[in-house]
Amino acid sequence: MAQATGTSAWLPGVPTPRLELYRRSGYMMPDTVQATRGCKRVCDFCTVPVVWPQYYRRPVGDVIKDIKAIRGRAFVFNDVSLVDDPAYARGLFTAMLPLRKKWGGLATLDIVQRPDLLDLMARSGCVYLSFGFESTNQPTLQFIHKGFNRPQDYSSVMREMHSRGISVQGCFVFGFDHDDQSVFRATVEQVLDMKVDIPRYSIYTPYPGTESATRGLADGKGVIGARQEQGGVTTTSRE
């Protein structure tokens, strides 16, 4: 099983994408930028640390060049963990200030422990963030190696975002080993209470190479089952 090493590397010299070749129709947000690749965390269901064992950062100047090439005012960072290196993120957001763009992206909830970085993020044009809350149950979060999410802080995280004009997509997962049928109502009630702008629910899926898949093989629960297309999302059930 591959694991994130937690180390960082630079990724210089990536050319600016030729956005004029892009078929723009059919995408909610066709203008995208990538500053980093990978993640320093190792959540047990996530394919990111399997695919990119290192955390890669592109030089800030290269990223700014890509952002300047976007004609519109808004874009999305594709990075799964844009703020994993706070010093890098600070440099990037500071360099973005004069560009006066609006942007969205993904981050981890512990960003609220750095209010100065969150302020800078908002000033650099951040209006939307997607967070993997995953579960409202702390033992489950510990089990999947996402104990840095603290359910008791979820509501205050939402207030911190909304007070800075940042809308939140909140991602939640059903089907963890500790879940029972009560998880559905309990999760939705907390989501409503937290005032998540765009809730998103998915099914715990043991992708090959992840710890959840390795455990599934070991305990006989299986890894790959029926693949189903549901509203554009492919889910894989255990056999």
Count of residues of this chain found to bind ligand SF4 when the rule CB under 6 A is applied: 11
Q: Does 46 bind ligand SF4 (CB under 6 A)?
A: yes
Q: Does 170 bind ligand SF4 (CB under 6 A)?
A: no
Q: Does 48 bind ligand SF4 (CB under 6 A)?
A: yes
Pairing of strands 102-107, 74-77: parallel
Q: Does 39 bind ligand SF4 (CB under 6 A)?
A: yes
Burial class (CB in 10 A: 0-12, 13-18, 19+), 239: exposed
Which residue stretches of 79-134 are H helix?
Answer: 86-96, 115-123
Q: Does 80 bind ligand SF4 (CB under 6 A)?
A: yes
Q: Which is nearer to ligand SF4, 81 or 140 (CB)?
A: 81
Q: Does 166 bind ligand SF4 (CB under 6 A)?
A: no
Are 157 and 196 spatial neighbours (Cβ–Cβ below 8 Å)? no
Which amino acid is located at 40 in the chain? K
With CB under 6 A as the contact rule, which of the stretches 46-54, 86-94, 182-190, 207-215 interacts with ligand SF4?
46-54
Neighbours of 234 (CB within 10 A): 9
Measured from the CB of residue 15, what is the shortest distance to ligand SF4 in angstroms? 25
Tokens found for residue 191: 């989501």
Q: Does 157 bind ligand SF4 (CB under 6 A)?
A: no
Q: Does 49 bind ligand SF4 (CB under 6 A)?
A: yes
Measured from the CB of residue 52, what is the shortest distance to ligand SF4 in angstroms? 10
Q: How far, in Å, CA of 1 to CA of 50, rounded?
A: 8
Q: Which is nearer to ligand SF4, 41 or 101 (CB)?
A: 41
Q: Does 109 bind ligand SF4 (CB under 6 A)?
A: no
DSSP per position, 149-196: --GGGHHHHHHHHHHTT-EEEEEEEE--TT--THHHHHHHHHHHHHT-
List contacts with ligand SF4 (CB under 6 A).
Answer: 39, 41-43, 46, 48-49, 80-81, 108, 132
